Structure 1
């Protein structure tokens, strides 16, 4: 039986309370989602908290995701009425792209304020997202200096802070926040695979078996080519495929070590760009 994945430490509960208290201070919420899991990385509790407040939905890590899937998800979110920005945070145009999109998101609110004679002020935005979605990386690009610690692991930012940007944004950074219970364990697994959940919280062999099953349907050549498998091996049960990969990697029967290698290969894009949340794509 697969291990139940859940991670909601005390600092997340505190951060959520602070977000609720500070929401009234901002014009717009930057809701960051991981392009590899655009739906699974949306926090339902934060979604309810934001409510009708203007939001800019930013799809981060687009360079790591399947571009066809990213385009389809962008259209899907836009059809729901969101202002959406697809972002590779390494792009030097990031500050300008985000500022322009933020202005679009608050256009109606700012127009109403001007009609009342309220002088135009810098846009105040709260940055929200699950752990390791790229909030600190984005923040450092917007402020144009390293003001927020970054690492490819969850839980690096643990407090709320205000920061100003050269493009006249005032940003309220917040820690990555999950929610108390994942109703669907597939969501928990996808969050774990992309680094939103601490690695000590889930079993690596469960993760490897999930990935083998996923790539079997999605893009089998990614596993076959990476681990030099033949079709006969890959047509076996997932457990047998994992044992074959373990042997191919020279780990004898240490499938835990092999599972960790598969997970690291996924995160380092050695299995290619991928999207775990699949949506129907249409050829334009």
Structure 2
């Protein structure tokens, strides 16, 4: 598969502006894709924010099973991180998130009072990869649609401050992505989940990679039952080709997009592409 890299000019500009604004911010919402929480984490965020409080938001909670959700909660807790699950599309998990931001504001204002400064509303920023649900989350926090939201990468193009309440102001930032994706396995997962611009990859190669990954994660029965085609004795590329021949008159692109959209929209069911890391077995 060709190297997947995607770093359009508007993201480079947004990253520079975001770094300039971070000194005004009190708390960071980092939004991750619950299907791929490790692949959708920007490795530079901890360095950018220093010791500012960070709330990890795993959005699209409805797209992974409850057992996997609990596993990630435990794994992140072991790393000293608290996770907040949301489904921004349906408005689930929003109240605990807003409360956590306000509590961070209380602590911030106590520090201001200790230094003889007047209290003020908390300033938060929502950051994350493209298309992980940042804008939808802001709209839910506000209770009405104020920022554009769509199921594709690159909708938000510039930073804007939005007042949620008297005690909470949010900075909406475009999706940020590393200038270089070092781990191609992660890049493939981002492409499968549509968390990277479609100009970065070939649909048929990503569709084949999805088939291979589902077999690796023991989800092959979903493919067998849905498409009446068992993927176990073939490669992902062969699966796409046979599916195109048997269902779509040889149209491999149409077969690919059916597969990808069925996964992306949750039609295949609750399928995580990453599981919480377990301890290495000692040899």
Please name the residue that 2:100 is paired with: 101
1:63 matched to 2:62? The reply is: yes
Please name the residue that 1:264 is paired with: 261
Deviation at 1:91, TM superposition (A): 4.7
User: Contact 2:203–2:257 at 8 Å: present in 1 too?
Assistant: yes
- Tell me, which stretches of 5 or more residues in structure 2 are unaligned? none
Deviation at 1:68, TM superposition (A): 2.1
User: Contact 2:205–2:237 at 8 Å: present in 1 too?
Assistant: no
Cα distance between partner residues in 1 of 2:122 and 2:185 = 37
Change in 2 beyond 3 A, CA 1:249/1:259: same
- Tell me, which stretches of 5 or more residues in structure 1 are unaligned? none
Report the secondary structure of 2:44's partner residue.
Answer: helix
Q: State the TM-score, normalizing by the size of structure 1.
A: 0.90
User: Contact 1:154–1:198 at 8 Å: present in 2 too?
Assistant: yes
1:255 matched to 2:252? The reply is: yes
Greater CA drift, 273-282 or 180-189:
273-282
Please name the residue that 1:238 is paired with: 236
Please name the residue that 2:158 is paired with: 159
Please name the residue that 1:222 is paired with: 222
Cα distance between partner residues in 2 of 1:207 and 1:141 = 32
Please name the residue that 2:9 is paired with: 10
Report the secondary structure of 1:272's partner residue.
Answer: coil
Cα distance between partner residues in 2 of 1:171 and 1:57 = 15
Please name the residue that 1:25 is paired with: 24
Aligned residue pairs, count? 278
Report the secondary structure of 1:165's partner residue.
Answer: strand
Q: State the TM-score, normalizing by the size of structure 2.
A: 0.90
Deviation at 1:189, TM superposition (A): 0.9
Cα distance between partner residues in 2 of 1:264 and 1:159 = 28
Q: 1:202-227 CA deviation, whole Å, 9 max, x = no partner? A: 11121111111111122111111110
CA RMSD of aligned residues (A): 2.1
Greater CA drift, 181-190 or 193-202:
193-202
Cα distance between partner residues in 2 of 1:269 and 1:93 = 17
